Amino acid sequence: MTEETDIAGKITEEKRENVSLLEDLSSLESYARELFSFSPLPICFASPIGVILEINPAFERLSGFGAYEIIGEPIESFFKKEDILNLSKETLEKGFVRERELHFNTKDKGEIIVSAFSQIRKVKEGETIGYFISFFDLTEVKKSEIELKDSQTALLNMLEDVEQARKKSDEERNKTVAIISNLADGLIVFDAENNLSTTNPLSEKIFDIKGRDVMGRSLEELETFPTIKPLIELLQKNPKKQLFREELVLQGETTLEVSSVFMMLEEKRTGTLVILHNITREKVVEKMKSEFVSLAAHQLRTPLSAIKWTLSMLLDGDLGSLTADQRSFLEKTYISNERMIALINDLLDSTRIEEGRYVYRPVLSNVKAQVQTVVDNFQEEIKKRGLKLEFKKPDKDLPKVRIDEEKIRLVVENFLDNAIKYSSIGGSLVVAIEKGKEEVRVSVTNSGIGVPEEQKKRVFSKFFRGSNAIKTETEGTGLGLFISKNIIEAHGGTIGFESVEGKQTTFFFTIPMKEEFEEFLKDF
């Protein structure tokens, strides 16, 4: 091999190397360009003073502007000025910035938020020739973030609500427990299966039991506790009653008023609530009161009898003859005394009603005959007052009903006596007996002062007298209708009235014709 050949060879070699280098360079450039174009992320290259020198298609797509509208423009035209100046400054100082949120201006969507990365570019000699910014759209991420935050807030709110509800239910529970524990009445609750589920301290004291001994026990099991047995027996006597109230006398003279009520949820029985109200004291006071009235009334009866007999004998001439004047005054005194006797009898009757000692003696009887007797007794009085009486009787005989004749007569007497006393002058009276489907109805109607509207509710209460009645007639005990109501109700009947003040009033009662009401009478 010659030297020339060697040189020529070397030159060719060098050329070839250069060509290959150029080829490599061009290939690299194309590679970089393709990569630049391919990148789905917007990328731009800006000069150190912030002029956009190059962008990729992704930048165009996101911004909505064409390359010709972007290249050569200051970078702050596309970003929020403050954001981008900071980013540029930092990049030039530090060489890069990572994950910086920027506001990017787009043509169609306006301002969007992007996350940006930047990287400085220097030439070999170390001179800065610009920097790259690449970024991605945070709109969706932000949206999700907001949604997430909303859900989080909602969840927190819910948790807070739950917490509040829990607190409230705790409070309610504590309140209920406090009420039950401090209740002045004994309380016992049974669940749907009639097992004991709650007691309070007072109920435990009343029956001398411990909550833990009886909790969860059935009625049958509870019957083995002698102290609570009377209550269980009472409850078992009324298993189907939604609500009942009965008195229960325990050993040691304690009297309880037992109220039992079904607890319902959507028409299903969820348990039974039993309230035990201690009425021992009331009973004692009530007994003392009626004993006092009873005693006083009895004590009054003897002097009243003495006065009655004396006056009667004076009037009969047993103690010598009387002048017309003397007779007239004595007759009036006799009537006053009779009034006093009636008052005492009413008082005694009402105490007997309260003590449950108002004895009823029902016999099969004709109501018509009883009413007739009373009407006959009042004929004279009616005539004296100048009243017109109409007695409406059914043509056919009524079926006999079970009544206490004397007491029913007393009711008719009370009705008729009131009707006469409170009639207008020359007014009319109607006594009527009618047969209904299942009952006999007796009514007494008068034209007279009537019952004031606002006092109608109290007509059958003890000692009630109408405000207009007091003006008309100073006598009257206010006991007649109270006694009447008790008599009729003990017969299983109803009592009532209709009245228009100043016009007319009808008082009525009904007696059932069925035999079942004997059950009512047994209680008396």
Partner 1 sequence: MKNKILIIEDEKILLDLLQKKLSQEGYEILVSHNGEEGLTMMKEQKPDLILLDIIMPKMSGFEVMEEMNKDPELKLIPVIIVSNSGQPVEIERAQSLGAKDWLVKTEFDPQLVIDKVKKLFA
| Interacting residue ranges for partner 1, rule: CB under 8 A | 298, 301-302, 304-306, 308-310, 312-313, 316, 318-319, 341, 344-345, 348, 359, 361
| Beta strand segments in 225-359, E | 243-250, 254-265, 268-278
Least Å distance, CB 523 to partner 1, is 16
Least Å distance, CB 327 to partner 1, is 15
- Report yes or no: 506 and 443 within 8 Å, Cβ to Cβ: yes
As a whole number of angstroms, the distance between CA 465 and CA 446 comes to 17
As a whole number of angstroms, the distance between CA 422 and CA 491 comes to 27
Least Å distance, CB 355 to partner 1, is 12
Nearer Cβ to partner 1 (77/294) = 294
Structure tokens at 281: 């004291």
Least Å distance, CB 414 to partner 1, is 17
As a whole number of angstroms, the distance between CA 411 and CA 488 comes to 8
Nearer Cβ to partner 1 (116/408) = 408
- Report yes or no: 242 and 262 within 8 Å, Cβ to Cβ: yes
As a whole number of angstroms, the distance between CA 232 and CA 227 comes to 10
Nearer Cβ to partner 1 (133/297) = 297
Do the strands 388-392 and 428-435 form a parallel or antiparallel pair, or are they unpaired? Answer: parallel
At how many degrees (to 10) do helices 480-490 and 324-355 cross?
A: 40
Q: Nearest-CA neighbor of 369 among 331, 350, 397, 410?
A: 397
Nearer Cβ to partner 1 (116/347) = 347
Nearer Cβ to partner 1 (8/319) = 319
Nearer Cβ to partner 1 (71/304) = 304
Least Å distance, CB 176 to partner 1, is 50
Least Å distance, CB 520 to partner 1, is 18
Least Å distance, CB 311 to partner 1, is 9
Sequential DSSP letters for 23-36: HHHHHHHHHHHHHH
H or E segment and range at residue 295 = helix 280-316
If you search the block for the tokens 């992007």, which residue do you land on? 114
Nearer Cβ to partner 1 (270/312) = 312
